[in-house]
Structure 1
């Protein structure tokens, strides 16, 4: 349920079935709803609506078979009426032919992977109430449950020989009040003695641990916790998953990622490491000791002689350059492969030659595939174009990658390694896309106030007519260090904004990756500084066009983009006629003491507000949006989720209250059951409807 406030309201699968399926109707006393599958939305005049946006199938995990002949992948479908999603498994040949849906169930199937040399498929399913490992034949038959782990499994990998399973499970680390005082069984209070008691959208009462188990006759046995008795995360919450763990090719070693810190120490540091766990002896060794930033996502070379991983250099800087490192496991020698490459390594995969790595990197507004030679350290671009490649896997003489753009959700592509030519093979959303009219996406380079050239994406409405005059929206990116690339979003969808008759201006302002470290790092300690001038430079340049009505300009964004919206509301000199901020920081002093990851606040804000001798920090807090509330004179809408422990909902409530007390036309949309994002389908549609209702009121 969401609450809108305005001024007036201050107030069991059959093994033989192919594909695996489950009947609708009743099972015992439980009423089963219709299985959520591919949608067939009604499309009028080729224009995208929120309902159409939520009709797209969302392509997830992509796994290439051991012989490279087939591709296993996951698609998630959405039901607005049921207000939930459903993930299913599919298989096709590596050229995209002979597509087959493996599962049709009312449960979630995810984390699919090939096992038994491609003769079987393993995956996670919540068929029995918790997420457990199941297997199925590639023809869709023989579905069996393998694990029965209390509390469920969050991710897994079979060992190379198929005799063991590595999996992730939550381990309780906090004693509840009722456990501490058995005579108070209904006591709900949380007793807190240290920092890091909340994280993103959870109270920290458990942590993920890696476990290894023997696989005996389709059952798990001899289960061991790799961090037995240790209160640390592995992988690291909230975003780390099975990609932060890896088997060595000989199955004797498990590499895992962990930041072995808790409480205040954890909240002040980003220093994680890659650890090796000897499966036979149980001994653990820190392989990246002395490397002080994030070290994550280990991958062994096919011959087991090298380890590659992503590494940041500086402790406390979560947006530092994501470097590609390789270690010679015989000598311990480390090679900084991307030293001469001024961009991040976002994802990577080893080639079979044990020398080449294919990696995903964001460069100048798009995310492309690159080839890295670990000996010469030469980085070569492989693809180009107005696209984002978001994952990469090794096929048979090809790369298998997911690709998206502002005009298309993620699909699977086969990429020729020699030429970089990409061929779509999944076509999950072709039926919908063929009936939609997308607006043109233009690449513009705009001169900033300090003489730099800034890439700005401009998205035009479908059937754009340069003789007409359109309202425009300035899109402010979050992060703050997150490139405005050719992204596809189910909330901040720029084509959706364009479909509603708006020209969208999306600048890659200061503080974003993909334009070199100097451009990225300028924002730290300069909130409210040059990056805000960049925003104004972008909207000023585009609003000079004869087809833009400079009297109908709006501004919107989320997280740091929400902060930007609040800040611009007090510093826009009459440019904008309406604002909308989601999950934004309104009061920086309060944010410093409300947030959880203090390393982020210390690095980006410069330190605590009480340190009067810290000039950088004092400049930051002097630029807090709440300091400019006396200048607010423009209608503003605020949205926030109450499960947001990163930027508390109180930030949004403060902003709304301030606007109301100032007599500014304002509206607030509060989601009691959402976090920093909006994940529930009906809430997502509600957000879109209210977004355009608000801007249409003031700009049309």
Structure 2
């Protein structure tokens, strides 16, 4: 996805990064070419990091009101400029007449059809801050309609389009300069409560949602629906406009909020769905007494019902994501997925009786249809891929799909038989030049007599008569599925392209295999899930095409914890390890992290509670307790803006390895958080990843 003018060479592949558009821009990025679709030449069919970063990243499908058109975005990457740019496209519902309707240096986001399909509204920072704009469906006549101080993070038009709901950040808490105005250059932060930082930022602003009037050309300043309440709406760090919804009559807004702050916020996941009356300004809690996460409300077309996702238990962020529906007249609740032992996501009403959604079942994420009153669940699609989102177009769903071997593309799905037809073909030219490795589904026996789905990815041009090094991939989360995912950092086909057999187990603690399988990992870090990992790699090591003397192990976050733990408990199976953003010292992690509900649930409690045998078992299994048994080269990667798992965890692990005399390398990013977001840092990670493993496994 880059639009760069340099040629990048790595291995046998060449990326010629001349872009489709060559116009120049005349602003703060003067003389930089527009970032657009890359032209890529791949030799020998082998993927490299530069090829991986050349894919167009398709997202956010919007079906026009008359069901004739599809609006979507594609993000492109420039490695040279070390940035991304998102452009907008339209096409007919059958994939014909594809058009790029924007060509700018500023990304267009949150694009939706408005005014009956006569206009497209979107966010752009073209004027200096993120504001709402409108344009014709062909991209012409761009007009800014908002001028909100501080910018807009997301928006939604009311059904009659006379009001606009928008999200903007407001100041949170008292700053040092407020307390001591005579010390304007003092950089110290005065902290009196928990949740002073979250994932990747200091909490000095929080999002609030506002309702503004709109006369068809300009938007007024808005009314804060939370008033002076000091709570997030939507919720940090990942919530957006999907956490709010207009009622069909435009008289109410349902919104998601966890009305807690400080320590109470840090200890609880109890969010609720609130109904705000626009005329009276009155707010009603629809989910009072439901103690876990309640998020993402969606009204039925007739406005009589509201659906949402609900977790049952407070403090458990990976509880089963259930589908609930409430009758807004009687307040009766229906647990629609009561007999469905899997998570639900991306709910969308088909009619007043049924709801489409996506769910991961046995490591594949598919489209489903739920019938509200009968609680019948029908699976629409099948196959080795994941659907992530969709729009409804009559008897079709226009959906985004990816797999372990292909990035996002848009498909038309027949809701009767599940047949899917690709529409977008954004990455056809690159995919057509690549040789992808075979992806195999294996069910491997575990130590407690169960079967575990494990994805095996073979190198391109695989020869069963040769012996290959193998990499065990350890998933993070810890409760995030190893499905048919496509990643720009943990790309299993990239690993295979470098000559490795990739072993990716759906070990204990991952969704898609029922609640019992999912929940086993809680309070059992270093337990059965580690045995599952060893079962997977041991089974593959017996294959004649795997070099059992050249095994590596890698992962991030909880996957990084897994790497550190296995480094002290692998009985010389592995010859090299690599961990990113992993937990090394669990006792330190308990006091360093921000979301205390996570640590309390997963670890069982604090390390100073000596009477808590479950918690004490968790801390006894901390990776740092096994450092004396480390005997294998290890590489550590971490971002210093990671406030979920502090960079000190990686530094401790690196220091421990060096002090033990073990070959070690550390890749530290001063300007990255729990992820690696900047293109050149991503390329750097890939290059160092393979330089490290190639040294010890080849």
TM-score (norm 1): 0.96
CA contact (8 A) 2:25 2:34 kept: no
Q: CA RMSD in A?
A: 1.1
Q: Separation in 2 of the partners of 1:127 and 1:175?
A: 31
In structure 2, relative to structure 1, the CA distance for the partners of 1:486 and 1:183 (3 Å cut) is same
Q: In the alignment, which residue of structure 1 is the partner of 2:387?
A: 389
Task: Give SS of 1:679's match.
Answer: coil
In structure 2, relative to structure 1, the CA distance for the partners of 1:75 and 1:25 (3 Å cut) is closer
Q: Separation in 1 of the partners of 2:57 and 2:467?
A: 35
Displacement after TM superposition at 1:22 (Å): 11
In structure 2, relative to structure 1, the CA distance for the partners of 1:654 and 1:520 (3 Å cut) is same
Q: In the alignment, which residue of structure 1 is the partner of 2:608?
A: 610
CA contact (8 A) 2:327 2:333 kept: yes
CA contact (8 A) 1:24 1:33 kept: no
Alignment of 1:178-257 (within 5 A): 178-257=177-256
CA contact (8 A) 1:22 1:105 kept: no
Q: In the alignment, which residue of structure 1 is the partner of 2:642?
A: 644
Displacement after TM superposition at 1:383 (Å): 0.7
Q: In the alignment, which residue of structure 2 is the partner of 1:65?
A: 64
Alignment of 1:504-523 (within 5 A): 504-523=502-521
Deviations 1:84-103 (A, max 9, x none): 00001100011110001110
Deviations 1:471-500 (A, max 9, x none): 000000000000100000000000000000
Q: Separation in 1 of the partners of 2:201 and 2:299?
A: 33
Task: Give SS of 1:139's match.
Answer: coil
Task: Find out whether 1:697 has 2:695 as its counterpart.
Answer: yes
Task: Give SS of 2:264's match.
Answer: helix
Q: In the alignment, which residue of structure 2 is the partner of 1:5?
A: none
Counterpart among 674, 677, 689 of residue 675 in structure 2: 677
Q: In the alignment, which residue of structure 1 is the partner of 2:174?
A: 175
Q: In the alignment, which residue of structure 2 is the partner of 1:405?
A: 403
Q: Separation in 1 of the partners of 2:139 and 2:508?
A: 50
Deviations 1:67-86 (A, max 9, x none): 11100001100000000000
CA contact (8 A) 2:25 2:33 kept: no
Counterpart among 586, 592, 604 of residue 594 in structure 1: 592
Q: Separation in 2 of the partners of 1:468 and 1:227?
A: 64
CA contact (8 A) 1:346 1:362 kept: no
Q: In the alignment, which residue of structure 2 is the partner of 1:535?
A: 533
Q: Separation in 2 of the partners of 1:473 and 1:37?
A: 34
Displacement after TM superposition at 1:216 (Å): 2.3
Q: Separation in 2 of the partners of 1:358 and 1:256?
A: 21
In structure 2, relative to structure 1, the CA distance for the partners of 1:355 and 1:102 (3 Å cut) is same
Q: Separation in 2 of the partners of 1:452 and 1:23?
A: 57
Q: In the alignment, which residue of structure 1 is the partner of 2:74?
A: 75
Alignment of 1:466-545 (within 5 A): 466-545=464-543
User: Per chain length, whose mean CA-contact separation is higher, i.e. which structure has more relative contact order (CA < 8 Å, sep 6+)?
Assistant: 1
Task: Give SS of 2:495's match.
Answer: helix
CA contact (8 A) 2:90 2:99 kept: yes
Q: In the alignment, which residue of structure 2 is the partner of 1:421?
A: 419
Q: Separation in 1 of the partners of 2:97 and 2:24?
A: 31
Displacement after TM superposition at 1:42 (Å): 2.6
Displacement after TM superposition at 1:29 (Å): 7.6
Alignment of 1:293-308 (within 5 A): 293-308=292-307
Displacement after TM superposition at 1:27 (Å): 2.9
CA contact (8 A) 1:232 1:261 kept: yes
Deviations 1:542-588 (A, max 9, x none): 11000000000000000000000000000000000000000000000
Q: In the alignment, which residue of structure 1 is the partner of 2:14?
A: none
CA contact (8 A) 1:199 1:238 kept: yes
CA contact (8 A) 1:24 1:32 kept: no
Q: In the alignment, which residue of structure 2 is the partner of 1:555?
A: 553
Task: Give SS of 1:228's match.
Answer: coil
Displacement after TM superposition at 1:392 (Å): 2.1
Deviations 1:166-206 (A, max 9, x none): 00000101222122111111011100000000000000011
Deviations 1:436-491 (A, max 9, x none): 00000000000000000000000000010000000000000000000100000000
Q: Give unpaired runs (5+ residues) of structure 1.
A: 1-20
The total of aligned residue pairs comes to 679
In structure 2, relative to structure 1, the CA distance for the partners of 1:30 and 1:583 (3 Å cut) is closer
Displacement after TM superposition at 1:279 (Å): 1.0
